[in-house]
Amino acid sequence: MNETPRIAIVGGGPGGLLAAHVLHGHGIAATVYDADTAVDARDPGGTLDLHADSGQIALEDAGLLAAFHALARAEGQAMTRRDHHGTLLKEFAPADDDTAAPEIDRGQLRIMLHERLAPGTVRWGHKLTDLTTENDVHRLHFANGSTVDAEVVIGADGTWSKVRRRLTEAMPEYLGVSFLDVRFDDVDTRHPEIAALVGNGQLFTTDGNGRAVIVQRNSNGVIRGYVAFRAEEDWAARKGVDLTDRSSVREFLLREFRGWSETMRPLLTDNDGDYVARAFTALPAPLTWERVPGITVLGDAAHAMAPFGGHGANLALLDGAELAHALHEEPSVEAALTRYETAMFARTGHLAADANAALRGFFADQPDGVPHEVPDREEELRAYEARAAEYRAARTPAAR
């Protein structure tokens, strides 16, 4: 890039932090602004698997792949499939040296990315409230009263991105399925029956009639995940459920999942801490927009999708790396952003559409209540490795 623009990255999640890493590796200055007061100021959520064909490629570009593997859990790639009576339907256990998609806690990933950036790169306590433009300079307005000017603004600010509003009027839509976050601590001692059901990785359970439990072992003896069901978006109010009262939520779940066996009920009722109600939302897919000079978005801000396939964080990381490479290699900012968006649209559009369709299909009523089939885990892992080889082979011999 022949220019030396001021670059502001809005959002200190995996995609934003990874973009800063790769930009700095190319000698390009960039500052990250995040609403949180610190890297560990809030619960970042559960675990995620980083795929060989996306998230791991981005970490390699940032020089962080070894640091990731030092924290990652290969055994977390295991998958168990049970019906709502607890009957084992399918089971997969990875080899000890399988690195196709190891698991890492979201908080661990964020801290790893943050700690290896130069001090002061991330400005915590900066919640974006507005973005204005005058004479090709973008002014970021923050809730703390400060402003920052930049020639390039990268929105890594998630599903409800404020930066995206400068590019498109598209907004996330409710997919018809709500869920409750659940957490089980010290599971091998306090919840041995749940630990046995889940195993070392992920447990998929559905009754084939719009209800499911999907949970995953995290680090430090924790299992996290969600209890999900088809519902109106305001289901709690409609059903008279007090989300702040665990007994009220548990009564609702026992009614809603009344056909589930006693073996599976601890997954519904024995969680540690409060239930956290959430909804599955996604942007229209595939989503594109016309170029707006000096502004772009990545990750969920660009293509928020259902979690089926586990693409979200992986694509955010790869978006961040590819955007940084484009800014380094192209002669101008606009050439770089055009290259990045063109490739990103092609890479993510079909994945988002497929993930959203998969969620709707998974929670649709199945004939005779036969549980919906989930992808074969072994095939998924080998496909990640094959696509990783193809992706690397297709890259131009530019400096990486």
Q: Which tokens hold the place of 242?
A: 């007090």
Q: What's the CA gap between 126 and 31, in Å, rounded? A: 12
Give one DSSP letter per residue of 135-168, joined into a string. TTEEEEEETTS-EEEESEEEE---TT-SSGGGT-
Q: Is 175 helix (H, G, I), strand (E, B) or coil?
A: strand
Q: Which residues contact 210 (CB under 8 A, 6 or more apart)?
A: 177, 229, 230, 363, 364, 365
Q: What's the CA gap between 308 and 109, in Å, rounded? A: 20
Q: What's the CA gap between 251 and 276, in Å, rounded? A: 15
Q: Which residues contact 233 (CB under 8 A, 6 or more apart)?
A: 174, 178, 279
Give one DSSP letter per residue of 244-260, joined into a string. T-HHHHHHHHHHHTTTS
Strand locations in the chain (E): 7-10, 31-33, 47-49, 79-83, 88-92, 103-105, 122-123, 128-134, 137-142, 147-150, 152-155, 173-184, 202-206, 211-217, 223-230, 276-282, 295-297
Give CB contacts under 8 A, 24+ apart, made by 66-69: 67/112, 67/116, 68/102, 68/104, 68/109, 68/112, 69/99, 69/102
Q: Which residue has the tokens 């969680």?
A: 271
Residue 234 annotated as binding?
no
**Distance, C-alpha 316 to centroid of its chain:** 8
Residue 106 annotated as binding?
yes
Name the amino acid, one letter, at 276.
V
Name the amino acid, one letter, at 39.
V
Q: Is residue 10 within 8 Å of 153, Cβ to Cβ?
A: yes
Residue 42 annotated as binding?
yes
DSSP letter, residue 234:
T
Q: Which residues contact 135 (CB under 8 A, 6 or more apart)?
A: none
Q: Which residue has the tokens 């999900």?
A: 228
Q: Which residue has the tokens 């399925």?
A: 177
Instruction: List, as residue ranges, the binding site for NADPH.
Output: 42
Instruction: List, as residue ranges, the binding site for FAD.
Output: 49, 106, 300
Instruction: List, as residue ranges, the binding site.
Output: 42, 49, 106, 300
